[in-house]
Chains A and B, each alone.
Chain A
Amino acid sequence: DTGVSQDPRHKITKRGQNVTFRCDPISEHNRLYWYRQTLGQGPEFLTYFQNEAQLEKSRLLSDRFSAERPKGSFSTLEIQRTEQGDSAMYLCASSPLRGSTEAFFGQGTRLTVV
């Protein structure tokens, strides 16, 4: 297990299309987080899971965004009816429930909406 893995690394889509991203956390990490990062800004929190339960969602997360972690392992983030403002880097991070506070980040999925 070499770390948090995200797929795809890059995605270009037309406005109005739906996109889905996948995140595979580090094995046995109970917590999984999604963040969005735009150029020149820090990552913004979107949502996080503890095992399969979605514990918190940011007010930034519109109804077009949905995230799942059905078996408490990998997670998917779906954006419906994409808009140009959705263009950003989508970062996933994971952390263990006990023993460490460190969040380990994936390399991200860069979304470009044209």
Chain B
Amino acid sequence: GENVEQHPSTLSVQEGDSAVIKCTYSDSASNYFPWYKQELGKRPQLIIDIRSNVGEKKDQRIAVTLNKTAKHFSLHITETQPEDSAVYFCAASLIDTFSGSARQLTFGSGTQLTVLP
């Protein structure tokens, strides 16, 4: 089965600096890679995702890059703000060709990001 590793487990940055979180996956068949943000005591929420036919995707201060050959993908947050402080999870999945829907997600172990004011 799929295995996702995530690094670092904790990350502290100064407000305004950039943060980078990296993940690797094992199953070359995986073709969908979402990132979830989980604030303390709250549900995980999708912040950005990327499919394997794309190498990079941006949404305002957040970007994700994917290297299919090396089987790794990264989350980049620029101009960090205190409200970015949370646990971030990467995940990998397979999108059914017929339905266009993703199967179950395999998550990394999470990165606790702290943005210091």
Contacts and interface: CB of A to CB of B under 8 A. Distances in A.
Contacts of B43: 4, 91, 105-108
Contact of A33 (B32, B46, B104, B108): B104
B106 interface: yes
A101 interface: yes
B107 A43 contact: yes
Interface stretch (B60-68, B70-78, B95-103): B95-103
B108 A42 contact: yes
A88 to B, nearest CB: 14
Interface residues of B, number: 27
Interface residues of A, number: 28
Interface in B1-16: 4, 6
Contacts of B32: 101
B89 interface: yes
Interface of A: 4, 30-31, 33, 35, 40-45, 48, 56, 58, 91, 95-99, 101-108
